[in-house]
Structure 1
Amino acid sequence: MGEHTQRKLPLLPLRGLLVYPTMVLHLDVGRDKSVQALERAMVDEKEIFLVTQKEIAIDEPDETDIYSVGTLAKINQMLKLPNGTIRVLVEGLQRGNVLTFEDKEEYFEVEVELLEERQEATVEEQALMRNVLEQFEQYIQISKKISQETLATVSDIIEPGRLADIISSHLPLKIVQKQEVLETFSLKERLTLILQILSNEKEVLGLEKKIGQRVKKSMEKTQKEYYLREQMKAIQKELGDKDGKESEIEEFRKKIAAADMPESVQEKAIKELARYEKMPASSAESSVIRNYVEWLTQVPWSKETEDLLDIHHSEKILDEDHYGLEKVKERVLEYLAVQQLTRELKGPILCLAGPPGVGKTSLARSIARSLGRNFVRISLGGVRDEAEIRGHRRTYVGAMPGRIIQGMKKAETINPVFLLDEIDKMASDFRGDPSAAMLEVLDPEQNNSFSDHYIEEPYDLSKVMFIMTANNIGAIPAPLMDRMEIINIAGYTEVEKLNIAQEYLLPKQVKEHGLTKGKLQVKEEAILKVVRYYTREAGVRGLERQMATICRKAAKIIVSGEKKKVIVTDKTIEDLLGKPKFRYGKAELEDQIGAATGLAYTTAGGDTLQIEVSLAPGKGKLTLTGKLGDVMKESAQAAFSYIRSKSEELSIDSDFHETNDIHIHVPEGAVPKDGPSAGITIATALISALTGRAVRKEVGMTGEITLRGRVLPIGGLKEKSMSAHRAGITHIIMPKDNEKDLEDIPESVRKDLTFIPVSHLDEVLKEALVGE
């Protein structure tokens, strides 16, 4: 080892640098404390202690941030540089171990134990030195970064410690390793450590070389490929393929990988892409394949949105967007509830049926919003070609996938709410029957592998929630109807229309016309008057148009400066909308002979119908007028036959049909009327005319009649009751079998009406005719 002496010296911490004894090197010193330490050293014996910092980043190190072993160095030269730093030339003298560390504000001072090294080597150390030199020589040959002169200089060194230090300084080691060499005081151990480091470095260099060769090889291959590709591009350019397709094909590869398709589809896409790659751009099939691959990557295969399975949230949204429509909302919430329990349910297939303007399409949009799903709508009105649904085969010019796949592409997820609008307006002709193609789309058992002629691969539609709309269920083919759940939206009652106008339509129109509540007020009775006299519809489109008209007129009044605020009442509504456009049947003011009030179901809700009968001496001719359909004419014939068979019981001359001409008329001759439910009304009017007994003014009636006088059930009782209520009728005679429909009638209407269920015409006459 050697002997030890102790000294007190100023300390210079080094960053990312280590000085061995016997090394001469330039340092740049800039930190205040370091500069002060240098100046202190210059005053003393030009000696300073150099120690390396553990972390380069620390600007103001203390005792814990520096190593405890360093080098005593002599300052040979000092030079102040223009930027304020000092360049020093130091020469390492000997190793030292820090005993105490003192912060003297201006600089650090350390007490050091210095180590004197032995110069001559033992036999074992000489052997180690030879070994080290040999290894170093081999290292230089592999590395080629160290010159042969260095080797010559190192070979001449006879001191074992110095040899280890010098070689260590030439190797590309991390500071930690160099510090380890510095801290190894034993010469034998130090030489052994250097041997280990050298053999390690040689191995790393060997690996580096191998990797280098491998990289070179692959570089050569890549360059060769690049060269060939460039040639190919040049050839393609000559052939008229301007850009070459390389970048495009690369793009497609990425898209295919990102689309997350089923394995079979992915294989197909890759195969078609390979065909496309080999095909010259001038070939007609090239663009066909390109379009096909593009479609495969654009249709969603696995991306789906998370359902918002919160019933209360969904209910809130449905109520926000729509007033009434209880049954539909209930059905959607049931679906949600099941979804919440099972987490897996094939999408239901709902069909919203009802007249125009009742909010079928907007309801579907609300359903999508309440579920948090994407919404996509396609209109099937006038679709008469099967390929519109199923797509064309790819061999045709201009082939495309069908509307369903197009809709899915637009939806971008595999579980959207998919609205098929106007499913009853699909037609069929020589191009096939599109409604038959819809069977596969809408069958929950089959639609998990829907086949589109263009896409060819099976496509899964089972997670889609299909909603259809139809005005007329009768026009939907039976097999198709069998697959859907039909929810009838019958149209709105007056009370509902009033609410819808107040809560939705008017505020929306006020906003769209740049008005505010302060500028325009429409009273409730005014809205009711609009509903009754200015619109006749089941939905609310006409009502919305009238609200828009009111807003327009109000805007003109306000802008022209006539008034600052417009208040619309049932008295002033005519100034804005003109004279009423419609009237509705009102109850008679007194009991009539030969006239009965029937209740009719129209697309615009319901209405009352007067049925009049007049008798004149003649030969028994029966005349029916008022634009009646076949069914209604047959009802009149049936009533007539019933009365003939029962003439005695009814105290009517048995030969009335031979001595009188009978004329039955239903007013409003321009409006087509049909249906069986006027049967009992016609019979009552006829009997009234033949017996001279008046019909009660407050009674309205509806029901089909048979030849035996039985009363059969009818449809649309809710709408008929509403119209009767509006007309001022208080008693409604209805078939007994329709009692189940009474619960559909709004409470506000039901409480003002007396319903009389009947099963035979005798009961009808008892209630409807005055006197015995």
Structure 2
Amino acid sequence: MAQTREIPLLPLRGLLVYPSMVLHLDVGRKKSVQALEQVMMDDQKIFLSTQKEVAIEEPTEEEIYHMGTLVKVNQMLKLPNGTIRVLVEGLQRGKIQQFQEQEEYLEVKVDLIDERQNADSEEMALMRMLLQYFEQYINLSKKVTAETLASVQDIEEPGRLADVVSSHLPLKIKQKQEILETLDIKERLNKIIKILNNEKEVLGLEKKIGQRVKKSMEKTQKEYYLREQMKAIQKELGDKEGKAGEISTLKEKIEESQMPENVQKTALKELDRYEKMPQTSAESSVIRNYIEWLLNIPWFEETEDNLDINHAEDILNEDHYGLEKVKERVLEYLAVQQLTNSLKGPILCLVGPPGVGKTSLARSIARTLGRNFVRISLGGVRDEAEIRGHRRTYVGAMPGRLIQGMKKAGSVNPVFLLDEIDKMANDFRGDPASALLEVLDPEQNHTFSDHYIEEPYDLSKVMFVTTANNMATIPGPLLDRMELIQIAGYTEVEKLHIAKQYLVKKQTEAHGLTKGKVQIRDEAILEVVRRYTREAGVRNLERQIASLCRKAAKQIVSGEKKRVIITDKNIEDYLGKPKFRYGQAEVEDQIGTATGLAYTTAGGDTLSIEVSVSPGKGKLILTGKLGDVMKESAQAAFSYIRSRAAELNIEPDFSEKNDIHIHVPEGATPKDGPSAGITMATALISALTNRPVRKEVGMTGEITLRGRVLPIGGLKEKTLSAHRAGLEKIIYPEENLKDLDDIPESVKKDLTFVPVAHLDEVLKEALIGE
């Protein structure tokens, strides 16, 4: 039966007293000292209860545990430093019911709890088990002496046994308080048995580690001992807690990441497999890498588009001169995006010769939109796995370049440049061009499937830009999915502007020169364009300007000159003799020689076709490394002339008495393409009729057996090459009349354009005489 009494309270800090426990306490707080003095005048009994927080100087009712111990103060001694040392003996448990108003010290109303002294059979069994576990604990621990076990074994009361054993265990105050508050004796015994069991396991592990370290060390090596001990601890904890910690971190990342729900489920499922798999397993690292890829790919992260059209136009004009069509297309995209606020990324294909700025233009588009930019080169790619990734069953499997690029971009809406799309190949490892069909189809690419990732990935917000030199080598189905923008070569005037605005500035800065130290005049740049480069783009022009800067830098550093001015008069001193003759047009009208216009991957070019007629047996000889298409054009022209010999004032049996040799100079260079028909026919007729061909005329067009002139491609590039070569008149198919709009006005005003539908019209314009 519980007994209630009012009694002074002594709060304890970091300490707890059980009933039947005898120990010394040092008391220093004013209220605690006064409480002690009060009880010493009374019956020497005081109530001890522990504070919840050690640091609190004057605890309140809420900051003290209500379950405590009634003790008797057996001895009290004042120490020189002002504190009092007391010897207390625990009597019985008590629970604070009420705190009394008392200024000098704390006083409480306590219900004292009486415990049974006799034990039933179950408690006897638990006491035996407790003593057995305590004995094992003492054998392993060096902190408790064997004498303690002997004193404990004599205790017959189960509650007191539990309290005494608990007082000898290295427990935290919270755990000791929990035991103090456990009034049910069986439950208290069970709790202490459980604690002893855990302590025994920990001590056993410590002993095991100690033995392992002891075996692997030399007595004299203290440092070696410490290292080995650390290794042993890591080995015991690392296999479990090291990996457990990693799995916990990964799980947290997966749950916090912005993944689609189905991808998150897959990632957690793979993490579960990874957890059950031993770290030494080869597949363990494969799963780990897979989870890392799922975490690192952007799933929803998006950059905000800058849709200001005026700002976009300024950036495009700042980065590139000319290229109006491409700039207009980008501005159109921005305008539609601004109106709809949702537009599937267009697939632009920039086709043009090398050096015209296709790759840098894609970078400018990204800068204009304020998007991240990522580039992959497809030149020479022949393995489908490069695009779609490897299956995870292969050693060293990785995602395809698309997913790698998206990881690098870090957002789901970058500008993604697929460079050199015309230079992909295919072999037994698959066809990468076919794998790209899904990527570049706006209707399919919102569920792009990579063999490594295996989960559908949304590419619909990506703005794909592809580049190619030659449209002919891009597979038809792939070409069909892209919006083609042709970028022809630059005119002389455009090259001059590009050099002045961009190239000279870029190269002088790169070579550590300033405007005051080197000056390249406009006429010098024009001379470089005309006589030292022959290209559609400006790459070689930039190289020549870099060469001028290097030579100027050498003169300045050596002290030869303080300031270098390069003009058209002294340019040979820096670049040597001209590499090309400006204006490739014939110097005079010639018989059997006609100038054709060709379109190559490097832009437009002029092609001289020569015909010689000599007595023979009617052979037609074709030389100059011609492809099948050009050979067929020559045969068609020859057959047309034979059918119209009488009307052209040519002997009807000319083909039986003469050998005809058609030669296209620069024999080592391969030449092919459907646009040399009328040029060959004109050169043949000129040789057979002895009528000269006008030197200022260039021509392009394919011929049929009836003499009709068929349309051709690349008129703009061919016109630019004619302009570079110094020709004055262009003969072109009538059906290409629409293409004249693409030709710059600066070129149009220097050339005369003659559209033709039949070979008779060509001969009328090209040949001199009737």
TM-score, length-scaled by structure 2: 0.70
Q: Which secondary structure does the structure 2 equivalent of 1:714 belong to?
A: coil
Q: Is the 8 A contact 1:597 1:700 kept in 2?
A: yes
Aligned to 1:332: 330
- Separation in 2 of the partners of 1:408 and 1:539? 31
Structure 1 residue 337: Cα displacement = 1.0
Whole-Å Cα distance in 2 between the matches of residues 488 and 469 of structure 1?
A: 10
Aligned equivalent of 2:530: 532
Contact 1:140/1:146 (CA < 8 Å) preserved in 2? no
1:574 to 572, 575, 578: 572
Q: Which residue is 2:663 aligned to?
A: 665
| Aligned twin of 2:285 | 287
Which of 706, 715, 718 matches 1:717? 715
Q: Give SS of 1:466's match.
A: strand
- CA distance in structure 1 between the partners assigned to 2:378 and 2:725 by the alignment: 39
Give the Cα–Cα distance (whole angstroms) in 2 for the partners of residues 445 and 387 of structure 1.
22
Report what 1:408 is aligned to: 406
Contact 2:594 2:698 in 1 (8 A): yes
Q: Say if 2:504 is the partner of 1:503.
A: no
Instruction: Give SS of 2:428's match.
Output: coil
> What does residue 156 of structure 2 align with?
none
What is the number of equivalent residue pairs in this alignment? Answer: 575
TM-aligned CA deviation for residue 144 of structure 1: 8.3
Equivalent residue for 1:360, pick from 333, 338, 358:
358
Q: Structure 1: how far apart are the matches of 2:200 and 2:484?
A: 64
CA contact (8 A) 2:421 2:467 kept: yes
Q: Distance in 2 between matches of 1:152 and 1:672?
A: 110
Cα distance 1:531–1:300, how it changes in 2: closer, same or farther (>3 A)? same
Q: What residue is the counterpart of 1:761 in the other structure? A: 759
Paired residue type of 1:256: I
1:478 aligns with 2:476: yes
1:460-609 matched pairs, under 5 angstroms: 460-583=458-581, 586-609=584-607
Verify the 8 A CA contact 2:469 2:601 in the aligned structure 1: no
What is the correspondence of 1:172-191 to structure 2 with a 5 Å cutoff? none
Within 2, Cα distance between the matches of 1:628 and 1:279?
65
User: Separation in 2 of the partners of 1:597 and 1:678?
Assistant: 10
Alignment-derived partner of residue 349 in structure 1: 347
Distance 1:324 1:569 in 2: 26
| CA distance in structure 2 between the partners assigned to 1:239 and 1:740 by the alignment | 79
- The 8 Å contact of residues 140 and 147 in structure 1, kept in 2 or not, is answered as no
How far apart are 1:305 and its partner, in Å? 0.4
Match of 1:385 in 2: 383
Q: Which residue of 2 aligns with 1:307?
A: 305
TM superposition shift of 1:243: 6.4
Q: Which residue of 2 aligns with 1:642?
A: 640
Query: For the Cα contact (< 8 Å) 1:509–1:548, is it kept in 2?
Result: yes
| Structure-2 separation of matches of 1:742 and 1:717 | 8
| Distance in 2 between residues matched to 1:701 and 1:329, nearest whole Å | 31
Q: Among 97, 106, 131, which residue is 1:141 paired with?
A: 97
Amino acid at match of 1:531: V
Give CA deviations for 1:107-164 in whole Å, capped at 9, x if unaligned: xxxxxxxxxxxxxxxxxxxxxxxxxxxxxxx9972458969977699xxxxxxxxxxx
Mapped contact 1:259–1:300 kept (Cα < 8 A):
no
Q: Which is worse superposed, 243-252 or 645-654? A: 243-252
Q: Measure the CA separation in 2 of the matches of 1:528 and 1:290.
A: 60
Which residue number corresponds to residue 46 of structure 1? Answer: none
Closer, same or farther in 2 for the Cα pair 1:581/1:288, shift >3 Å? Answer: same
Identical aligned residues as a percent = 76
Q: Secondary structure at the residue paired with 2:614?
A: strand
Tell me how far 1:738 sits from its aligned partner. 1.0
Deviation larger for 649-658 or 617-626: 617-626
Root-mean-square deviation (CA), in Å? Answer: 3.3
Instruction: Supply the AA of the counterpart residue of 1:673.
Output: K
Q: Deviations over 1:228-277 (max 9, x none)?
A: 99989999834973861233223223322332111111122223223323
Q: Structure 1's 239 and 545: CA in aligned 2 closer, same or farther, altered over 3 A? A: same
Q: More displaced, 544-553 or 483-492?
A: 483-492
**Equivalent-residue separation in structure 2 for 1:472 and 1:721 (angstroms):** 18
Q: Aligned partner of 2:401: which letter?
A: R
Pair 1:747 & 2:745 matched: yes
User: What is the CA distance between 1:432 and its match in structure 2?
Assistant: 2.1
Name the SS for the 1:765 alignment partner: helix
Q: CA deviation at 1:290?
A: 1.6
Counterpart of 2:146 in structure 1 is: none
Aligned mates of 2:101, 2:579 — CA distance in 1: 103
1:477 deviates by: 2.1
Choose 432-441 or 739-748, whichever is displaced more: 432-441
Report the alpha carbon displacement of residue 516 of structure 1 after superposing the two structures with TM.
0.9
Matches within 5 A, 1:43-442: 141-143=97-99, 237-238=235-236, 241=239, 244-442=242-440
Aligned counterparts of 1:339 and 1:245: Cα–Cα separation in 2:
48
Query: Partner of 1:245: helix, strand, or coil?
Result: helix
Deviation at 1:506, TM superposition (A): 1.0
Post-superposition shift, 1:741?
A: 0.9
* 8 A contact 2:591–2:686 mirrored in 1: yes
Q: Report deviation, 1:374.
A: 0.7
**Which protein shows a greater Rg?**
1
Shift of 1:509: 0.2
Asked whether the equivalents of residues 584 and 607 of structure 1 are also in contact (C-alpha less than 8 Å), the reply is no
The one-letter code sitting in structure 1 at the alignment partner of 2:754 is: I
* Gap runs ≥5 in structure 1: 1-24, 26-137, 154-208
Q: Which moved more, 1:578-587 or 1:517-526?
A: 578-587
Letter in 1 for 2:513: L
